[in-house]
Chain A
């Protein structure tokens, strides 16, 4: 029997009419009406995990059976959870489903960032557009750091996945470098410095890789989901983005070729099922392990947003491109 229900912090309850309410959670909405809406409204102040079903029923003057039934139904949608008093473990496959659900929500601010629209409409500056290319290069080149650290610090069951990951992707930065060589000398590209926000993303990947193999890969999966999408709808909007970029910024032609070459290289690796296979191979996770891994994933989404926002904000305020390193006379 499930006890101690908790309404998820990110769920938003909206009273539509006197006997109808909606609960929005992770992009979906549950609507309650009539007696169910009235019952939920009475239960709402007690859905904090501190009260068991019997106590809630007693406080609101309802039968425990009604409170239990509604709690279980809402539990199936995910917007209500139950304080885990049983020490229940989460299987890798359950984690995979949980990961997918949250990641789709956490990626939304990245897809909605105004930078994309500014490029598509030609409002982005030269520094922002070339900055985007340089920062993508630095981020992909960062594989030498975080993927290597991940392989070197992996748990036994994660080692084959992380070793293969590094070996297959460490040289992908060269694809971006080739694009940048259409505008800058090789030595300049190699010496160029990333933005703090790009450095933040690479360093966060490296730090995660050193301390939590599974969490690192779960976070990396979020990044992969934005890179090697095989979804027809997503591919079409990426194509539209590149077409608009070529139109407004013709000097980025070779750079865009490199972007596309990288997407193709990623897709050829057939990595789309690797995370699921990895989840299937790990032992069941405690709730603390699930929280640790999903904290890394959520933070990865925030770092990816920071990466995008850094390009948009920093190059608007400090438009120097490329970002050459300091020497004894430069400062």
Chain B
């Protein structure tokens, strides 16, 4: 008989919202599962034990139940959508089916990416012009670093059709960092100080992760690219951020206008459709390849969260250099 860790998978819980004495609401990408306090404790225990080495017998004994009772409990959680049987994972799927799946989970992923307290801090007036500027500097580096991964994705793609689509995307995006440079100049930074600065490690990590994806598989790279595009398509979500920051931190309009121009250009190019165009060329792929792509997509979300955390921590400290100069033997 397969062990529990081979038999069951655990669904990703995007948020666990406490309902005080009445229990917890677990938010999945496609549903919300309400558990009483006792059931939640059992769920937590199983989520901890299922990937571990303990036998079914040991886990059941620890929970004070028999093995059949443990099975029934797991089955109940599976019916609620919190666990799933590994043998129900499809063996193959089409590119379009992967895109459908991606579209279903993307809102939950983006919520996770932007769940960092930085955003509330900025919107509530607890941020600062310095923090806003720091975030913009890192956005400049991140956009400029597209030149480190976009062409690499073309170089490592075997299929001519996909290679062409990726090359066109690069041709349309490669110099967009100028928009951020323009915005930073309006905030009083010199072009030289920005161009000669170094990004935070986590900003560099984003492009290094994209380079890793580019070398491994074009589907994995393209899902990451689609996640990044997904962060810029909804102007309704971003305008309030910029407008509020402009008011709260006395930002000149000239520092906001280039960012709007950039967002508009992204929408105009319809880059958000590129992932579907690429996946439409793939009739069938093994589940392992699609799973790996989903893993890349979700890890990119985690990168964005940690990137935000790094920006928040570094630029909140007044003594830290802004922008960050490169090391120089003569000066340091």
Contacts and interface: CB of A to CB of B under 8 A. Distances in A.
Interface of A: 6, 8-10, 49, 81-84, 90, 98, 102, 181-185, 187-188, 193, 195-197, 199-200, 203-204, 206-207, 287, 290-291, 294-295, 298-299, 302-303, 305-306, 309-310, 313-314, 317-318, 320, 322, 324-331
Contact of A325 (B209, B295, B303): B295
8 contacts: A196-B302, A200-B202, A303-B201, A314-B306, A317-B305, A328-B291, A330-B84, A331-B29
B294 A327 contact: yes
Contacts, number: 152
Contacts of A182: 53
B90 interface: yes
A309 B198 CA distance: 20
Contacts of B200: 302
Contacts of B108: 331
Contacts of B287: 327-328
Contact of A196 (B89, B306, B327): B306
B52 interface: yes
A184 B51 contact: yes
> Size class of B's contact patch?
35 or more
B332 A9 contact: yes
Interface stretch (B2-10, B64-72, B231-239, B265-273): B2-10
B101 A203 contact: no
Given A188-B51, A324-B10, A329-B11, A199 B93 contact: no
B205 A291 contact: no
Given A185-B53, A299-B201, A310-B306, A329 B330 contact: no
B329 A331 contact: no
A331 B290 contact: no
A288 B299 CA distance: 36
Question: 5 tightest A-B contacts by CB?
Answer: A200-B205, A203-B208, A326-B294, A327-B291, A326-B295
Contact of B290 (A49, A83, A290, A328): A328
A197 B306 contact: yes
A187 to B, nearest CB: 8
B306 A185 contact: no
B326 A291 contact: yes
Contacts of B326: 291, 295
B327 A291 contact: yes
B328 interface: yes
A140 B53 CA distance: 23
Contact of B5 (A6, A102, A185, A302): A185
B261 interface: no
A220 to B, nearest CB: 16
Nearest to A48: B331
B298 A9 contact: no
B29 A6 contact: no
A204 B204 contact: yes
A331 B201 contact: no
Contacts of B290: 328
A8 B331 contact: yes
